[in-house]
Amino acid sequence: MEKKQKSEERNMDERIYREYVAILKEELQPAMGCTEPIAVAYCAALARKTLGALPETVEVLASANIIKNVKSVIVPNTNGQRGIAAAAAAGIVSDNADAQLQVLASLTPEQVDAVGAYLRQAAFTVRRTDRDYVFDIQVRVTAGADSASVEIAGYHTNVIHIEKNGIVQFHKDYQESGSQHATDRNLLTVEQIITFANEVDIADVQETLQRQIDYNWAIAEEGLRGDYGANIGRILLQSYGMSIHNRAKAYAAAGSDARMNGCDLPVVINSGSGNQGLTASLPVIVYAKELGVTQQMLYRALVVSNLVTIHLKTGIGSLSAYCGATAAGCGAAAGVTYLYGGQYREIAHTIVNAIAIDSGMICDGAKASCAAKIASAVEAGLLGMQMQMHESQFYGGDGIVVKGVENTIRNIGTLASEGMRETDRTIIRMMIQEH
């Protein structure tokens, strides 16, 4: 399986090949902390930079889905504080907008202590935006007679507007229905993903994937060592033993335990989510270590898991009522199936089986219980893999499963992006007590 093919030897179209490489590089970025509060922190840090002074007033306008995903998660380097105001304050105190999703990674102990004082000192206002964007953050700041505002929409680092004292410094049009990505996700298919994994020159993806391995394994081990949240990863090991199957779930859950509960180690994300990055990578790494495969084989399996996850998430959208870990669990199982020698047929069956098993899991925000949902998603994925290994599968007509893996993936996208809109609104009303 260790293939290094030059472009002239590839079966894959060169344009599609380059786009797949670019998709991985675009998506697999490091972030410290849950990505929604970190996006708030980044937006606030950029507002301070634009203002050129420490703000005296801070107003944060956020979409309901941002509020949902920031409300309950601990913001790193804030001495255990939660919520939008804490995230914004930490970003402002960091004064490190250039770091983007690692904006809180370099806070000094003095700055960490200063976050609480600044929250008490400045006038903070948090309210829902009146724009109908799923992902929307606006930060408006003032100091004396000066003012500044920054807007992010669509995804975590997509800055669409910067203004100081009423003068626009940067603006780009944004349409909720359009893709804001630089890469073309419509080129993703399961069959092409497998071809790419088989043929990719490892040098094109090694740096990106090795960083994912190093970062995500480190935070998983920290989650198993420390006392984070509900300690789902550790409970899994203590309760169900050290089988490879259980360790795959436990390591993924432990990474989330740590990340959702204030750990300041970075995570390599997938589809804008650290939890999805952990879920797509850690089970594959656990199985690769157990099976004793080569590092190249691990890289190729991670290509499969990450791209399958991105493919599923493209239709689902960045934020919805559909738990993103479910898609990443499918991706992880696809990657593990590849480690066992599976190719298109086996991986397609694994994905469809996993989708059929666990597609009802809701997203009710970022919080400690995400770790348990990750364990459930990995379990569903691995069961889907075992089913196909035993020549068992779900067929078209079994619920939302239809003939053809791509058609089933499209159904999931429709279910999450359209069918669960009211579910999402109901969840948000419950969480922010607007009943």
**Thinking of the domain 7-30+188-431, which architecture would CATH place it in?**
Orthogonal Bundle (1.10)
Burial, 36: exposed, middle or buried (Cβ in 10 Å; 0-12, 13-18, 19+)? buried
Least confident span in 70-79, 159-168, 245-254: 70-79
Each residue's pLDDT tens digit, 383-394: 999 999 999 999
Query: Is residue 85 over pLDDT 60?
Result: yes
Confidence (pLDDT) at 209 = 98
Q: What's the whole-model pTM score?
A: 0.91
If you average pLDDT over residues 269-289, what whole number do you get? 96
Give start and end residues of each alpha helix (H) in 143-231. Answer: 190-199, 206-225
For 405, the token pair is: 């893996």
Confidence at 7, pLDDT banded by 50, 70, 90: low
Q: Given this chain, do its domains 7-30+188-431 and 35-171 carry the same CATH topology? A: no
Q: Which residues contact 248 (CB under 8 A, 6 or more apart)?
A: 282, 283, 286, 287, 332, 336, 378, 382
Confidence (pLDDT) at 1 = 41
What sign has the CA pseudo-torsion 321, 322, 323, 328? negative
For 239, the token pair is: 């309760």
For 65, the token pair is: 């889905």
- The residue that leads in pLDDT, 307 or 262, is 307
Each residue's pLDDT tens digit, 154-178: 889 999 999 999 999 999 998 876 5
Query: Is residue 2 over pLDDT 50?
Result: no
Confidence (pLDDT) at 178 = 57
Confidence (pLDDT) at 180 = 62
Query: What are the residue boundaries of the structural domains of the chain, listed by start?
Result: 7-30+188-431, 35-171
Confidence (pLDDT) at 53 = 96
How close are the terminal C-alpha atoms of the chain, in Å? 56
If you average pLDDT over residues 59-80, what whole number do you get? 90
Confidence (pLDDT) at 435 = 34
Rg of the Cα trace of the chain?
21
Each residue's pLDDT tens digit, 346-371: 999 999 999 999 887 888 888 889 99
Give the burial string for 265-291 (b: 16+ CB within 10 Å, else e).
bbbbbbbbbbbbbbbbbbbbbbbbeee
What is the CA angle 102-201-155, rounded to 5?
Answer: 30
Contact by Cβ (8 Å): 89, 156: no
- From residue 212, alpha-carbon distances to 67, 146, 225, 268, 275 in Å are 28, 41, 20, 5, 12
Each residue's pLDDT tens digit, 386-417: 999 999 999 988 888 999 999 999 998 888 88
Output the average pLDDT for the chain.
92
Tokens 């700041």 — which residue?
A: 141
For 430, the token pair is: 């419950």
Confidence (pLDDT) at 334 = 98
Confidence (pLDDT) at 35 = 87
- The residue that leads in pLDDT, 88 or 324, is 88
Q: How far apart are CA 160 and CA 291, in angstroms?
A: 46
Q: Domain spanning 35-171 has what CATH number? A: 3.30.1330
Confidence at 56, pLDDT banded by 50, 70, 90: very high
Confidence at 424, pLDDT banded by 50, 70, 90: confident
Confidence (pLDDT) at 252 = 97
For 94, the token pair is: 């960091």
Query: Is residue 282 over pLDDT 80?
Result: yes
